[in-house]
């Protein structure tokens, strides 16, 4: 089932077989009709009785379907009478049937030289030209065929078909309407007119004509197929499925019918049933690449990337020139993080079709992931050159410009994406993230709100808006947004963590712990959740539970060099917790200090320079905290090196508590609570907890 672009179903139903059958069964019109110099009923002027005998025997063989013998007899007739036009015509039909189109044209032309008013010869030669795609020449032959035989339905049908193919739909409809007026039982005329209406997207009229064709010829799977397609295009999936079911009942052994029904299920949104049908199709005809390709598309839609890769590979083995196959398989490889294989596929897709924009887009995404922003920009730009309204490429190129610090260009691309597709929420969401990174929280909020307005189930927009609300201290709205994310998609683990954080900062540690517990029930390996829960337990003064969670957190990240700062920080918190319980944890902290003090801060291969600088500063500060706790630096040295760190008063306060100086500790905690820059930090809330317990 497919939409035919300026091509009619007659290339299946009318080409040659049907026409030849009509000619062979009815025979040629009398020579009196072919030759205006002869009156009706006059004897046929054959050159000899023997030539006439060969000619008649050839006609008889043709009627029986024995084209080889028909061909031999027509050759013998023409050897005896080279001017016998009707023999040229019949031999032309044989060449036509064999696909020897040049020789068919030559014989039809000879027949017309002998009899310039032989409308059947014009009709047949026009069909050859039509088969060869020479539509103007075909029209030049169909015109006299219609003029010489104005009551002949076939001429109008054939000419209407060519008009359809060259997109002259009004002329095509005029011819088909004429044919139907002349013969309202000609299902082929209704079928072709239905194709024209389908092309013009007048689906009701297309369905009406297909239905009329089926009344006349109810056993045609092809007409049911066309009507099913029209129903599908109209969005009426149930009648489309009903027609597909009828076709399958007629021809249950043909994989193409299950493939077509699978496409209707895709349109209907029933991926599982589509998968079942495509599976039947590949089993019935495993050599048809399109069936594998369609099933791969369903697997891709379902997120079953390994299965999709397998099916795309099978399709490509059958047809290695499908550039979209390499592109889509590259998408699958990208989703399963096999980036080098994805890159190979995108390259191959581009090699096959350098004008196909999607592989450039896919390859740009890989380069973006690899932090090769210059190559990424080049490919996004090439994709946009090939497809100027490729709004997704504008969005991603904007992200790339953002990574390079070219903010004006980034904003221009986000704006262009929204201009091209103002109804898609992704442009607003990403522009909102851009505004947030550039400290325009008001504009970020506007864009997140717009994204949610356009798609009330856009979980990422709710999540980002929730984070923004958390940062601004509006914890109630933040919790509402994160709870909305969990309601829409309970599998998004990060929403549980963010909700726990907002609940805690809202002053509701119990719900916060509940969300941590729910997350850990879903994924016991979610390391950051142990850190969050351990932090909340510390806030509550439950140091035993805090130690347990911090140790689990450390156990999961201990082999991650990019998390050195987290490792240092957690060892500090373990030292504080154990000290508060009267346990000696100094040796463990000294060991970590000695291990890290001689090492350069870790620089991730996949991190940005700005991120690396932040990590370097953070690690330096945390090492200074450790040095104070283990006695490797004095209080004065600590204070001198941490005057610009908002969290410093918390760690100094904890140091005072360890030294049994609670009043000084309280002063540190109080000073921290007065710092707006620390308002959303863990240290702020830990300090708050210490004050509340005091």
**The pLDDT of residue 608:** 57
Distances (CA, A) of 252 to 61, 245, 273: 35, 9, 17
Please, which pLDDT band fits residue 19 given cuts at 50, 70 and 90? very low
pLDDT score of 543 more than 60: yes
Q: What is the pLDDT of residues 145-187, one digit of tens each?
A: 999 999 999 999 999 999 999 999 999 999 999 999 999 999 9
| pLDDT of res. 280 | 98
User: Angle at the Cα of 541 (from 540 to 542), degrees rounded to 5?
Assistant: 95
| Distance from chain centroid for Cα 388 | 18
Tell me, what's the pLDDT at 12? 34
For 264, other C-beta atoms within 10 Å of its C-beta total 24
The whole-number pLDDT of residue 615 equals 74
Number of domains the chain contains: 2
Answer whether residue 623 is part of any domain. no
Task: Please give the C-alpha separations between residue 308 and each of 268, 305, 326, 634, in angstroms, as whole numbers.
Answer: 21, 5, 12, 62
Burial class of residue 694 (count of CB atoms within 10 Å of its CB; 0-12, 13-18, 19+): exposed
Dist CA 399 CA 610 (whole Å): 16
Q: Write a three-state SS string for 310-366.
A: HHHHHHHHHCCCCHHHHHHHHHHHHHCCCHHHHHHHHHHHHHHCCCCHHHHHHHHHH
Per-residue pLDDT band for 15 (boundaries 50, 70, 90) equals very low
Task: Please check the confidence at residue 258 and state whether its pLDDT lies above 60.
Answer: yes
* CA pair distance 517, 508, nearest whole angstrom: 15
Q: Give the pLDDT band of residue 690 (cuts 50, 70, 90).
A: confident
> Residue 496 has what pLDDT?
97
Instruction: Output the DSSP codes for 546-566.
Output: HHHHHHHHHHHHTT-GGGHHH
Query: By the 8 A CB rule, do 199 and 160 touch?
Result: no
Q: Is a pLDDT exceeding 90 seen at residue 24?
A: no
Closest CA to 263 of 472, 1, 593, 545: 1
Whether the predicted pLDDT of 20 surpasses 50:
no
Given a cut of 50, is residue 692 above it in pLDDT? yes
Residues 357-380: what's their mean pLDDT?
Answer: 97
∠ CA 129-130-135 to the nearest 5 degrees? 90
Kindly state the tokens that stand for 217.
């010829």
In the chain, % of residues over pLDDT 70: 90
Choose the final residue of a domain: 200, 226, 252.
200
Residue 21: predicted pLDDT:
38
Q: Is 634 helix (H, G, I), strand (E, B) or coil?
A: coil
Neighbours of 123 (CB within 10 A): 24
Domain boundary among 460, 489, 523: 523
Q: Helix crossing, 357-369 with 323-335: angle to 10°? A: 20
Q: Could you read off the pLDDT of 430-476 as tens digits, one per residue? A: 999 999 999 999 999 999 999 999 999 999 999 999 999 999 999 99
Residue 679 pLDDT class (50, 70, 90 cuts): low
- pLDDT score, position 129: 97
> Has residue 647 been placed in a domain?
no
Residue 109 pLDDT greater than 80, yes or no: yes
Last residue of a domain, one of 153, 179, 200: 200
Tell me: pLDDT of 80 over 80. yes
Q: Is residue 335 part of a domain?
A: no
How would residue 26 be classed by pLDDT, with cut points 50, 70 and 90? Answer: very low
Give, rounded to a whole angstrom, the gap between the first and last alpha carbons of the chain: 76
CATH classification at residue 440: 1.25.40.10
Residue 307 located in a structural domain: no
Of 178, 176, 202, 204, give the one whose Cα is nearest residue 191.
176
pLDDT band at 681 (very low <50, low <70, confident <90, very high): confident
DSSP 440-501: -HHHHHHHHHHHHHH-TT-HHHHHHHHHHHHHTT-HHHHHHHHHHHHHH-TT-HHHHHHHHH
- Asked if the model's pLDDT at residue 29 lies above 50, the reply is no
The answer to whether 34 and 145 have CB atoms below 8 angstroms apart is: no
Distances (CA, A) of 429 to 295, 395, 433: 32, 10, 6
**Is residue 655 situated within a structural domain?**
no
The 10s digit of each residue's pLDDT in 552-564 is: 999 999 888 888 8
Give the per-residue pLDDT at 100.
Answer: 94
pLDDT 10s digits, 50-79: 888 999 998 888 888 888 898 999 999 999
Residue 325 to residue 333: CA distance in whole angstroms: 12
Cβ proximity of 519 and 497 under 8 Å: yes
Is 259 within the bounds of a domain?
A: no
231 versus 48: the higher-pLDDT residue is 231
Give pTM, 2 decimals: 0.76
Gap between the Cα atoms of 511 and 588, Å rounded = 33
Query: Which residues touch 82 (CB under 8 Å, ≥6 apart)?
Result: none
d(CA 120, CA 126): 10
**Residue range 660-671: mean pLDDT, rounded:** 91
Between the alpha carbon of residue 327 and those of residues 152, 291, 353, the distances in Å are 51, 17, 11
Residues 6+ apart with CB under 8 A from 216: 185, 186, 187, 190
Sign for the pseudo-dihedral over CA of 364, 366, 369, 372: negative
Q: What would the pLDDT profile of 583-631 be if each residue is shown by its tens digit?
A: 988 888 888 888 887 765 555 444 456 666 777 788 888 888 988 888 8
Mean pLDDT of the chain: 89
Q: How confident is the model at residue 495 (pLDDT cuts 50, 70, 90)?
A: very high
State phi, psi for 133 to the nearest 5 degrees: 80, 15
Q: What is the pLDDT of residue 307?
A: 98
What range defines the domain where residue 475 resides? 423-523
pLDDT tens digit string along 195-228? Answer: 999 999 999 999 999 999 999 999 999 999 999 9
Query: 114-130: per-residue pLDDT in tens?
Result: 999 999 999 999 999 99
Do 646 and 681 meet the contact criterion of CB atoms below 8 Å apart?
A: yes
Measured CA to CA, the distance from residue 47 to residue 337 in angstroms comes to 80
pLDDT score, position 686: 87
CA distance 425 to 421: 9
What's the confidence (pLDDT) of residue 632?
79
Q: What angle do CA 102, 110, 37 make, to 5 degrees?
A: 155
pLDDT for residue 13 is more than 70: no
Residue 483 covered by a domain: yes
| Residue 678 lies inside a defined structural domain of this protein | no
Query: Using N-to-C axis directions, what is the helix angle for 609-629 and 648-658, rounded to 10°?
Result: 20
Average pLDDT on 372-390 reads: 97
């Amino acid at each position: 089932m497919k939409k035919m672009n300026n091509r009619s179903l007659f290339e299946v139903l009318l080409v040659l077989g049907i026409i030849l059958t009509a000619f062979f069964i009815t025979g040629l019109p009398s020579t009196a009709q072919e030759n205006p110099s002869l009156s009706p009923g006059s004897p046929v002027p054959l050159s000899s009785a023997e030539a006439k005998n060969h000619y008649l025997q050839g006609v008889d063989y043709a009627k029986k379907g024995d084209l080889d013998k028909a061909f031999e007899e027509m050759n013998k007739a023409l050897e005896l009478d080279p001017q016998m036009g009707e023999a040229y015509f019949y031999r032309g039909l044989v060449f036509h049937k064999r696909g020897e189109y040049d020789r068919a044209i030559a014989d039809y032309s000879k027949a017309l030289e002998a009899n310039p008013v032989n409308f059947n010869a014009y009709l047949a030669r026009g069909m050859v030209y039509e088969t060869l795609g020479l539509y103007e020449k075909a029209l030049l032959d169909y015109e006299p065929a219609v003029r010489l035989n104005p009551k002949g339905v076939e001429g109008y049908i054939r000419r209407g078909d060519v008009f359809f193919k060259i997109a002259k739909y009004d002329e095509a409809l005029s011819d088909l309407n004429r044919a139907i007026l002349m013969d309202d039982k000609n299902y082929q005329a209704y079928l072709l007119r239905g194709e024209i209406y389908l092309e013009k997207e007048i689906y009701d009229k297309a369905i009406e004509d297909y239905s009329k064709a089926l009344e006349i010829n109810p056993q045609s799977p092809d007409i049911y197929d066309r009507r099913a397609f029209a129903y599908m295009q109209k969005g009426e999936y149930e009648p489309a499925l009903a027609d597909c079911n009828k076709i399958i009942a007629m021809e249950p052994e043909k994989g193409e019918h299950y493939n077509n029904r699978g496409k209707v299920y895709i349109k209907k949104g029933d991926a599982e049933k589509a998968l079942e049908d495509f599976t039947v199709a590949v089993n019935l005809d495993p050599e048809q690449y399109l069936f594998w390709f369609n099933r791969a598309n369903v697997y891709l839609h379902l997120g079953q990337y390994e299965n999709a890769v397998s099916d795309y590979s099978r399709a490509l083995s059958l047809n290695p020139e499908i550039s979209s196959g390499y592109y889509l398989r590259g998408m699958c490889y990208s989703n399963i993080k096999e980036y080098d294989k994805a890159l190979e596929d995108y390259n191959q897709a581009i090699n096959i079709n350098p004008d196909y924009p999607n592989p450039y887009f896919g390859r740009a995404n890989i380069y973006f992931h690899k932090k090769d922003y210059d190559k990424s920009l080049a490919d996004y730009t090439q994709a946009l050159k090939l497809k100027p309204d490729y709004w997704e490429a504008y969005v991603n190129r904007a992200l790339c410009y953002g990574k390079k610090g070219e903010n004006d260009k980034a904003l221009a691309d986000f704006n262009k994406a929204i201009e091209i597709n103002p109804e898609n929420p992704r442009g607003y969401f990403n522009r909102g993230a851009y505004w947030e990174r550039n400290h325009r929280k008001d504009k970020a909020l506007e864009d997140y709100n717009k994204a949610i307005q356009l798609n009330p189930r856009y979980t990422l927009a709710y999540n980002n808006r929730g984070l923004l609300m958390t940062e601004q201290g509006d914890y109630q709205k933040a919790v509402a947004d994160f709870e909305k994310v969990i309601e829409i998609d309970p599998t998004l683990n990060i929403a549980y963590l963010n909700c726990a954080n907002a609940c805690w900062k809202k002053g509701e540690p119990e719900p916060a712990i509940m969300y941590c517990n729910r997350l850990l029930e879903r994924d016991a390996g979610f390391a950051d959740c142990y850190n969050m829960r351990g932090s909340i337990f510390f806030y509550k003064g439950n140091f035993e539970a805090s130690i347990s969670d911090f140790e689990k957190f450390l156990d999961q990240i201990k082999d991650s060099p990019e998390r050195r700062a987290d490792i240092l920080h957690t060892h500090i918190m373990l030292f504080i917790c154990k000290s508060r319980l009267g346990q000696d944890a100094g040796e463990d902290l000294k060991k970590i200090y000695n291990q890290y003090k001689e090492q350069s801060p870790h620089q991730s291969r996949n991190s940005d320079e700005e991120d690396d600088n932040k990590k370097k500063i953070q690690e330096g500060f945390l090492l200074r905290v450790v040095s104070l706790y283990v006695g490797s630096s004095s209080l004065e040295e600590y204070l001198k090196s941490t005057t610009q760190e908002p969290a410093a008063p918390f760690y100094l306060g904890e140091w005072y508590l360890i030294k049994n100086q609670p009043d000084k500790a309280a002063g540190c905690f109080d000073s921290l609570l007065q710092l707006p820059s620390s308002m959303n930090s863990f240290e702020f809330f830990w300090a708050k907890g210490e004050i509340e317990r005091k």
